[in-house]
Amino acid sequence: MSDNSGNGGRAREGRSRREQNRLTDKKESGTGDPRPSSNLPRGDGRPSTKPQIGDSRPAPKSSGDSGSSKGGDGRSDGGGSGGGGRRRRRRRGNRGRGGGQQRGGQQGRGSGASDRPVEAIEDTPSLELDEKTLRRRRGRERRGKPIGRYLMCVSVGDGVTQLAILEGRALIEHYVSRPADDANEIHGNVYQARVQNVLPGMEAAFVDIGTPKNAVLYRGDVQFDADDVEGEKRPRIEQALKAKQRIIAQVTKNPIAHKGARLTQEISLPGRYVVLVPNSTTYGISKRLPDGERRRLRSILDQVKPADHGIIVRTAAEGVTEEEIGLDIGRLAHQWDEIESLARRSEAPALLYREPELVFRYIREEFNRDFRGVLIDDRATYEQVRAYAEGVAPALVDRISHYDLKEEKLPLFERHHVQEQLRKTLDPKVWLASGGSLVIERTEALTVIDVNTGKNVGKSSLEETVLANNLEAAEEVARQLRLRDIGGIIVIDFVDMDVAKNRDKVAGALREALSRDKTRTQVFDISELGLVEMTRKRIGEGLLESFTSECEDCEGRGRQLDESLLAPGGGVGRR
């Protein structure tokens, strides 16, 4: 069993990632990071003769606009006025604006003969809890006011939703989502897909899922029936897949720039307490839970686990009743039935299941009694979130409130000082309380963090001063990685320490600080040169990428060329 999900997702993911890295090695000199190199033309959707990773076909005119073909990830049209209006605001439109409407629709759906994709948030009947359980689930209060470390602020703009998580007053996480973007924001979606071509040499296949760019399915993510394939344990990709074949596949990675979305055939449907892995023997309980709790959950699963499907129990299941887990599993199993039924009626390519947008995912997976509140500055979103929370966290519904811009003096993010904290977060330099600093630089392949000591000359020895500075930096690095949503390979250059024991202390402090990060990280020991190499799972595109675009003049290099030195008779010829 691997870290916290048993023999299922994580182990699988590790293996596939390695395979992908091997592939990118060939193309992008080992970055493992599928971003375009700055001196190449950005993904422009031109069909090429030879198929290659990230292969594109021209974007259909109806869904594409100049913005999405330029950046490839839709970021270039963010915040502006143009793109949003032309896009179909499908989710809101489908669900109906009012919460009441939504609940009514859900009862009337019956056999589900509709051909529109299954949406998780429609399958949330109210959860009835007995008084005792309700009381345990409710958060703590002081003089009638809810208390908790965290506050969630949701700001809904034109086509862009921003989510900020505050711990006390400090911004600790921030996400940007463009919910109407059906071409780029598709992580978790399930498709009836069609294999376009199989590339044995790359151990990958290109798959049409109906988005402008073909998606990629690597050999490690292919599912196969052992009876169909003779010989080897894991068949070659050309044995398992054929062109034009129809498959059901799920997006595990959004398309980025010139790279298509990444797919897996091993579907997983996340719920609040469990993840359902349809038609699988996967079985796992989060290793973050104490042994006694794991035993209790295992005995509950013996009662409620569906025979055909695998289950991974999430850390959030701690202290949860059999009824709640049963309901969660039942809901997911029902979702899967609907997905399969829709697949039988659909031609490829077709979207079968759409992951709910960011706010709902966050409520589903993270919202608990440690949140003193959820503030949403858009009435319709507020009503939908509240209705959804009645199904997944009924004891906490009262903590969700509408931040009415008509009544408030300040916009939500200003009121909670999110903006000014965001601004600092876009700066490469971060000051430490003791006077030292970090400089965070993103490159194509990795992120480099340079740790500097301040002018503070310690009272004790230099080694002691440096140690204190590095320990402080380790804490801040963890905070910044989470806040800036930096993924991939990260190299931290701590200030040199002579004593090996101190180097271990710093690595330990970094690991400890990172354990509060729900995104998976891996830290290696400090090298002889005082460098720490680590990885952090890439989830979003990163804060910097969401808020900025590359400078067109210098293509992101940040240097101006002195033309006179290259001119004939200039510096070059002189000597």
Residue 241, sorted as left (phi over 0), alpha (psi -120 to 50) or beta, turns out to be beta
Q: Which is nearer to Zn ion, 228 or 552 (CB)?
A: 552
Asked if 69 and 58 count as a contact pair (C-beta separation under 8 A), the reply is: no
Amino acid at residue number 24: T
Compare residues 410 and 551 and give the one whose CB is closer to Zn ion. Answer: 551
Provide the token pair at 435: 């006077």
Comparing C-alpha atoms, which of 112, 71, 17, 48 is closest to residue 344?
112
Contact yes or no for 249/266 (Cβ under 8 A):
no
The residue among 134 and 551 lying less far from Zn ion, judged by its C-beta, is 551
The 123-152 contact track toward Zn ion, x by CB under 5 A, reads: ------------------------------
Nearer of residues 531 and 554 to Zn ion, judged by Cβ: 554
Residue ranges in 245-284 that form contacts with Zn ion under rule CB under 5 A? none
**Cβ closer to Zn ion: 29 or 549?**
549
3-state secondary structure of 269: strand
Q: Report 541-560 residues binding Zn ion (CB under 5 A).
A: 551, 553-554
Return the number of the residue (420 or 555) whose C-beta is nearest Zn ion: 555
Count of residues interacting with Zn ion (CB under 5 A): 3
Q: How far is the CB of 191 from Zn ion (least distance, A)?
A: 39
CB of 558 to Zn ion, least distance (A): 6
How many Cα neighbours within 13 Å face the side chain of 414? Answer: 5
Query: In angstroms, rounded to a whole number, what is the distance separating the alpha carbons of residues 240 and 287?
Result: 33
For residue 516, the tally of other CB atoms under 10 A from its CB is: 11
Q: Which is nearer to Zn ion, 244 or 557 (CB)?
A: 557
Query: In the complex with Zn ion, which residue's Cβ is closer, 518 or 557?
Result: 557
Shortest separation between residue 38's beta carbon and Zn ion, angstroms: 11
- Minimum distance from CB of 560 to Zn ion (Å)? 8
Smallest distance from the beta carbon of 559 to Zn ion, in angstroms? 8
Residue placing its CB nearer to Zn ion in the complex, 551 or 565? 551
Q: Would you give the DSSP letter of residue 275? A: E
Q: Min. distance of Cβ 553 from Zn ion in angstroms?
A: 5
How many Cα neighbours within 13 Å face the side chain of 58?
3
Instruction: Bin 308: left if φ > 0, else alpha if -120 < ψ < 50, else beta.
Output: alpha
Residues 506-545, one symbol each (x = binds Zn ion by CB under 5 A, - = not), give ----------------------------------------
Q: Which is nearer to Zn ion, 1 or 551 (CB)?
A: 551
CB of 76 to Zn ion, least distance (A): 16
State how far the Cα of 338 lies from the Cα of 351, in Å rounded to an integer: 12
Classify burial at 110, counting beta carbons within 10 Å of its beta carbon; exposed 0-12, middle 13-18, buried 19 or more: exposed
Residue at token pair 């402080």: 472
- Residues with Cβ within 8 Å of 384's Cβ and at least 6 positions away in sequence, in order, are 95, 99, 102, 121, 360
Q: How far, in Å, CA of 98 to CA of 102, rounded?
A: 7
Beta carbon of residue 441, minimum distance to Zn ion (angstroms, whole number) = 15
Burial degree of 141 (CB within 10 A; 0-12, 13-18, 19+): exposed
Which residue's CB is nearer to Zn ion, number 230 or number 552? 552
Minimal distance in Å, beta carbon 221 to Zn ion? 39
Contact 451, 493 (CB under 8 A): yes
Residues 6 or more apart whose CB falls under 8 angstroms from that of 330 comprise none
Q: Which helix (H) or strand (E) holds 214?
A: none
CB of 525 to Zn ion, least distance (A): 37
Which positions ≥6 away from 468 have C-beta within 8 Å?
A: 434, 458
* Least distance between Zn ion and beta carbon 554 (Å): 3
Which residues would be at the binding site for Zn ion (CB under 5 A)? Answer: 551, 553-554
